Amino acid sequence: MRNSISVTLILLSLCLLSGCATRNVPPADIYTISPERAENSQHPEPGQLIIKLAPMRTTRAFSGTEILYSDAEHALNSYAYSRWSDAPVRLLQVLFQLALEESGRFAAVIPATSASEAHLLLESTLYDFSHHIHADGTSSGVIRARFYLIDYANKTVIATKEFISTVPAASKNAQSATAALNRAATNVARDYVAWLTEHDRIR
C-alpha cells in the first residue's frame, strides 16, 4: 500500500513539475510578410497577356516557418520563440503574385493550379531569406531569388534575372529581422515587376 502511495506521489510531482515547465515557455511570436503599398497615380493600359506563376522552388531551410539568422559563414540558426505565419516560400509566392496583379500589365495573373492556358510562365527559385548578423555588430535582412520568364507555348526561356535586396535591421532580434525582410521582399517584388513589364514581349 505504501509503495502504491509513493508511486502516486512521485507521478503527481512529475506532472506538476512538467506543468510548471510548460507554463514557463513563452508563446511564439508570429510574423508575416505585409508588402508596403506604393501610391501609384498612373494607371497603365491593361496588357493582353496571361501569365502563370509556377510554385517557387527553394531548399528545405525556407520551406518551414522558422525565422532564420546567420551569424557565421555557412551557418543557419532560428529564433527560438518566433515564427512566420507560413513558410517563406509560400508567403513570397503570394507577395509576387499580388505585385504582378497590381501592376495592371497583364490580362490575368494565374497560379500554377489554374486550369487556364497562359501565354507566359514565370518560374522562380529562392536562395536566401534570412537575417545576416555581421562581425561588426550590424545586421541586415537579405532576400535573393532568381526568376525565369518562359514562353508557355514552346517552353523556351525568354529571359532570366537574379534579384538581391539587403536592408539594414535595427537590432539583432526576430522583430527587427522580419521588419527588414519585409522591406527587402517588397524591394524585390517592385524590381522584378519592373523587369517583367519592361520586357519587349510584354510591352
33-63 as b/e: b if 16+ CB within 10 A = bebeeeeeeeeeeebebbbbbeebebeebbe
What was the pLDDT predicted at 150? 96
> In 3D, which of 98, 72, 71 has the Cα closest to residue 177?
71
Calpha distance 122→158 (Å, rounded): 10
**What one-character DSSP code corresponds to residue 61?**
G
31 is a domain residue: no
27 is a domain residue: no
| Residues spanned by the domain of 125 | 43-197
80 is a domain residue: yes
Look-up of cell digits 527587402: 184
* pLDDT in 10s for each residue of the chain, 203 residues: 445 545 454 555 555 555 554 457 778 899 999 877 656 546 566 788 999 999 999 999 999 999 999 998 778 999 999 999 999 999 999 999 999 999 999 999 999 999 999 999 999 999 999 999 999 999 999 999 999 999 999 999 999 999 999 999 999 999 999 999 999 999 999 999 999 988 756 65
19 is a domain residue: no
62 is a domain residue: yes
Q: What pTM, to 2 d.p., does this model score?
A: 0.83
157 is a domain residue: yes
List, in sequence order, every residue forming a beta bridge with 121; answer none if it has no partner. Answer: 52, 150
CB 144 within 8 Å of CB 153? no
What was the pLDDT predicted at 199? 73
Q: What is the domain count for the chain?
A: 1
96 is a domain residue: yes
Helix (H, G, I), strand (E, B) or coil at 83: strand
Beta strands in the chain (DSSP E): 29-31, 50-53, 66-70, 77-84, 108-111, 120-133, 139-151, 156-168
Helix (H, G, I), strand (E, B) or coil at 8: helix
Residues 6+ apart with CB under 8 A from 22: none
Tell how strand 108-111 and strand 50-53 pair up.
parallel
What was the pLDDT predicted at 73? 78
Calpha distance 52→112 (Å, rounded): 6
9 is a domain residue: no
Look-up of cell digits 531548399: 59
Look-up of cell digits 529571359: 159
CATH of the domain at 165: 3.40.50.10610
